Chains A and B, each alone.
Chain A
């Protein structure tokens, strides 16, 4: 009887620690949002400073951006299914959806790298104009975040495979989910502020 109460106490404590950790991670995400917002403001100020270089209208490809957007959105929803599988204790399902989220996220990063590569190859690198410096800083910062998210997904796939869906693994999966969904929200800002108005001009 006493032992059972003890277990319940420990479980409640674990839940409380997890909740504190999720809240702490949320505060980190908010600070990250401040960084992104300032990069957005910098981009807005610099967005017309072409220095006789190419404009967004000449450089951006709407279809390419749309495909990137879909990849990241589908990766985000795939992570939603990771959370559902983890909550129901379905290890194989969680692993499968983590793999899907990873593959879609990797597709996004590769498309972004292809775009950067093509731009730099045609002389529109970050050193070309104020507009391009701000563009590469903002979009590159987002891409770096996504790349680190991919590494984190791989680490969590290994943990789910080796340790199973223990309380601490589920708690980490929860924070990875916050990070992954947050990055998709930042991408909404990027296509709404950088790509769409850029193509429109």
Chain B
């Protein structure tokens, strides 16, 4: 069947331990970017922004894996396909919009 089978019964492979592991990772990946901003002046601006972005992406993956139980098993293959397609649409729509607007901004700036 085309869904998260292990979720249909609330997660046959989910255990209190797996939720707590995800929770600990999520806390760490939240504290790191906030601490980076608090210590902001100690690092280059671009480094702090990259750190925030990396921690954010990592935390999204942690949530998908530990809380939404998304993986490459046949059970959740359709869910995975849907999220990969959505990501593609997002890259085109959001990334494309930002590209166009940045370009317009550049063209409109007085030289």
B contact set with A: CB distance below 8 Å: 1-5, 7-12, 14-16, 19-20, 22-23, 26-27, 30, 33-34, 36-38, 40, 45, 48-49, 52-53, 55-56, 59-60, 63-64, 67-68, 78-79, 82-83, 85-86, 89-90, 93-94, 97-98, 101
With known contacts A16-B1, A83-B14, A192-B55, A181–B68 Cβ distance under 8 A = yes
Q: State A27–B47 Cα separation when bound (angstroms).
A: 36
Residues of A within 8 A of B (CB): 15-16, 18-20, 22-23, 26-27, 30, 33-34, 37-38, 40-41, 44-45, 62, 66, 69-70, 73, 76-77, 80-81, 83-84, 86-88, 170-171, 173-174, 177-178, 181-182, 184-185, 188-189, 191-193, 196-197, 199-200
Q: Is the Cβ of A87 less than 8 Å from the Cβ of B93?
A: no
Query: Which listed residue (B12, B20, B97) contacts A41, Cβ 8 A?
Result: B97
The smallest beta-carbon distance between A19 and chain B, in angstroms, is 4
Residues of A within 8 A of B38 (CB): 62
Q: How far is the CA of A14 from the CA of B37 in the complex (A)?
A: 49
Closest to A14 in B: B8
A30 to nearest B CB, angstroms?
Answer: 4
A sample of 29 cross-chain residue pairs with beta-carbon separation below 8 angstroms, ordered by A number, consists of A18-B8, A19-B1, A19-B2, A22-B8, A23-B3, A26-B79, A30-B85, A34-B89, A34-B93, A37-B94, A38-B93, A41-B98, A62-B38, A66-B30, A80-B22, A80-B67, A81-B16, A83-B10, A84-B11, A84-B15, A174-B7, A181-B67, A181-B68, A188-B59, A189-B60, A192-B52, A196-B33, A196-B36, A196-B37
19 further A-B contacts with Cβ under 8 Å, apart from A77-B67, A86-B10, are A15-B1, A19-B2, A19-B5, A20-B1, A30-B82, A33-B86, A41-B93, A45-B98, A69-B34, A70-B30, A73-B30, A77-B22, A77-B23, A83-B7, A84-B14, A181-B68, A184-B67, A192-B56, A197-B52
In the assembled complex, which residues on chain B have CB atoms less than 8 Å from the CB atom of A171?
8
Contacting pair B45 A77 (CB below 8 A): no
CB distance B15 to A76 under 8 Å? no
Nearest-neighbour CB distance to chain A for B84, whole angstroms, equals: 10
Q: How far is the CB of A85 from chain B (nearest CB, A)?
A: 8
In the complex, A84 Cα to B33 Cα: how many Å? 30
Given A37-B93, A80-B14, A200-B45: A184 and B63 interface contact (C-beta under 8 Å): yes
Report the nearest A residue to B24, measured CB to CB. Answer: A77
How far is A88 from B14 in the complex, measured between Cα atoms in Å?
11
